[in-house]
Chains A and B, each alone.
Chain A
Amino acid sequence: MSSYLLARIGALIAGLLVASIVIFVLLEIVPGDPAQFMLGLNARPDTLANLRAQLGLDQPVLTRYFNWVAGMLRGDFGISYTYRIPVTELVVQRLGVSLPLAAMALTLTILIAFPAGIIAASRRNSGTDFAVVSATQLGVAIPNFWFAIVLIWIFAVTLHWFSAGGFPGWDKGFWQGLRGLTLPAIALALPQAAILTRVMRSALLDTLDEDYIRTARAKGLTRIQVLWRHALRNALIPVLTIVGLQFAFLLAGGIIIENVFSLPGLGRLIFQGITQRDLIVVKSVVMLLVFAVILVNFIVDLSYLVVDPRLRRRP
């Protein structure tokens, strides 16, 4: 177990290191000088040089890279060129939208996919199974931003149940905030639910074919007992992997949906950062998201230890 753990931690650190280099290099190639962008085209050369020095842009590439990484390790992500406040503060603000949105979408995904997948697998080749499978075929083919536009058309423009975009803020009350995130969460959840349903169904079908399931049935357990106690537990490993990946995806993948609904979330922050050449924001937020993805993968790997006792006994 300890070697498994060590290998995972090693992979975690190596992944983060390479990711930081890739992101840094990618943003080094971006055309446009942030200092020029902040001061405008008519800026005097000496003020420009001053600002560059102040932002640390005049230092060699390697120094800037190490300063950036060292800063992040201390929890200092730099100061946004456009907002003139620390990136950490911005991120915390925006997480107030993106995190609840991702959590809502994932909850919806699980609430739809688990029952649908379990029912389809337990009635293999029946009409119900066929209906569920067809629905997932449709679900994975629907682009979430198009689904979002259709939701806006039906529930905002036509029925006026929800607003077509924008976020009232949590200070307007919990329910108002929740209402503002409902349509985006549904739009994000639907294609994810389709994917997870398919994974759940095929994972369950695979375990239902195992010999120990037949043994369990033979020793007198009912179909339901076998399903819950034996099949479901073993099917959970692939399902957990996908759930973890989906949460990471939802955090970062909200970028398009946040644009559709003009939500002030992390995705929109990155998007605006790119168009306004606010590179420090882009660099740090992308790094944070990659960190989140790698961390979630790490946690998923560790959760195998809980779900699958065989891994624990491995030397």
Chain B
Amino acid sequence: MSEPMLTAAALPRGTLLSAAIRSPSFIAGLLITLVFLGLALTSFFWTPYPYAAQDIPNKLQGLNAEHWFGTDQYGRDVFSMILAGARTSIAVALIAVGVGVGIGVPLGLTAAAQRGNLFDEIIMRGNDLVFAFPALLIAILITAIFGPSATNAVIAIGIFNIPVFARLSRAAALTLWTREFILAARVAGKGKARISLEHILPNILNTLLVQVTIQFSLGILAEAALAYVGLGAQPPTPSWGKMLADSQTLIGLAPHMAVIPGLCIVFTVMGLNLLGDGLSDIFDPRLRRSRT
């Protein structure tokens, strides 16, 4: 960034917390995300009905007092399935992001520390290659080969998170390696691994956190897509994508079966995206103008 941009007006006024309170996207995103995390947690000890309990006489009911979100073609309570489905979506997406961070960040940091040598080159070319694969297609291939399950969905989505975090942490780390305080650490005799861990990593956490929210939301979309084609979590494990697949043939009879899980996906993803935008606003107010 050029010097004139670092004028007093552009610098953060006060603490990160006060910046957070002034960011509407952050507040809205955080609220929505917390609501869905709350739903997922609630489902562990309470759902209005057992989510897999069938009640054929009461099938395909619309929204009513007993079944807030109606029932599906087997008379299962849609609200209970939404609660339990939140758990599946969030678990799959979160672990997939964990895979990406856990493998991608160390790779990226090492590549940056070894800048320009063979390891760096291999990592970066490997990244380019993974990006060239149509992600969803390969995820479908992987789940089809190793058997459809939530675990394999995690792996399939997680693989594509690795290069995202590797590339991001490498780029962020490279700019830090030119800074004086890193030079000072080197002069003090610290090794590259220790510098990466003690000085580089803490300074790129902000950037990583923003990307985590984005990949988290993409993970939820990918999980839904895999479950929709029958390659995600298997019944009776509920999943929003699976609910959408069931709804399609009944769309004329029971539109609520399609509308409700769909809106849940839209809201969760939007909440996470807003949270990410809010976070990047807070961490780097200079970006506030151009970021959407």
Binding site for B on A (CB under 8 A): 11, 14-15, 18-19, 22, 26-27, 29-31, 124, 133, 136-138, 140-143, 145-146, 149-150, 152-153, 157-158, 198, 201-202, 205-206, 209, 248-249, 251-253, 255-256, 259-260, 267, 270-271, 274-275, 282, 286, 289-290, 293-294, 297
Picked from B125, B145, B217, the residue with its CB within 8 Å of the CB of A141 is B217
User: A241 → chain B, closest Cβ, in Å?
Assistant: 12
Asked whether B248 lies within 8 Å of A260 as measured between CB atoms, the reply is yes
Asked whether A153 lies within 8 Å of B252 as measured between CB atoms, the reply is yes
**Taking A149-B258, A153-B251, A206-B290 as contacts, is the C-beta distance between A293 and B224 under 8 angstroms?**
no
B65 within 8 Å of A by Cβ?
no
* Cα distance, A120 to B266, chains bound together (Å): 23
Asked whether B290 lies within 8 Å of A157 as measured between CB atoms, the reply is no
Asked whether B225 lies within 8 Å of A145 as measured between CB atoms, the reply is yes
Picked from A31, A275, A290, the residue with its CB within 8 Å of the CB of B132 is A290
Give every chain A residue within 8 A of B285 (Cβ-Cβ). Answer: none
Binding site for A on B (CB under 8 A): 125, 128-129, 132-134, 136-138, 140-142, 144-145, 217, 221, 224-225, 228-229, 244, 247-248, 251-252, 255, 258-259, 261-262, 265-267, 269-270, 273-274, 289-292
Give every chain B residue within 8 A of A157 (Cβ-Cβ). Answer: 251-252
* Cα distance, A75 to B120, chains bound together (Å): 36
Asked whether A142 lies within 8 Å of B266 as measured between CB atoms, the reply is yes
Task: Pick from B128, B255, B290, B292 the residue with the most CB of A within 10 Å.
Answer: B292
* Cα distance, A18 to B292, chains bound together (Å): 36
* Cα distance, A227 to B253, chains bound together (Å): 51
Interface of B is mostly: helix
* Cα distance, A99 to B284, chains bound together (Å): 42
Picked from B136, B145, B270, the residue with its CB within 8 Å of the CB of A253 is B136
Picked from B125, B134, B261, the residue with its CB within 8 Å of the CB of A252 is B134
Asked whether A26 lies within 8 Å of B132 as measured between CB atoms, the reply is no
Asked whether B273 lies within 8 Å of A153 as measured between CB atoms, the reply is no
**Taking A30-B145, A205-B290 as contacts, is the C-beta distance between A146 and B136 under 8 angstroms?**
no
Give every chain A residue within 8 A of B258 (Cβ-Cβ). Answer: 146, 149-150, 153
Give every chain B residue within 8 A of A150 (Cβ-Cβ). Answer: 258-259, 262
Give every chain B residue within 8 A of A143 (Cβ-Cβ). Answer: 221, 224-225, 262, 265-266, 269
Asked whether B140 lies within 8 Å of A146 as measured between CB atoms, the reply is no
Give every chain B residue within 8 A of A152 (Cβ-Cβ). Answer: 248, 251
* Cα distance, A138 to B224, chains bound together (Å): 17
Asked whether B136 lies within 8 Å of A255 as measured between CB atoms, the reply is yes
Q: Which residue of B lies closest to A202 (CB)?
A: B290
Q: Which residue of B lies closest to A11 (CB)?
A: B128
| A-B residue pairs in contact (CB < 8 Å), sample of 13 | A26-B141, A26-B142, A27-B145, A137-B292, A140-B269, A143-B265, A153-B251, A153-B255, A153-B258, A202-B291, A205-B290, A271-B140, A294-B132
* Cα distance, A29 to B248, chains bound together (Å): 33
User: B125 → chain A, closest Cβ, in Å?
Assistant: 7
Give every chain B residue within 8 A of A138 (Cβ-Cβ). Answer: 266, 270
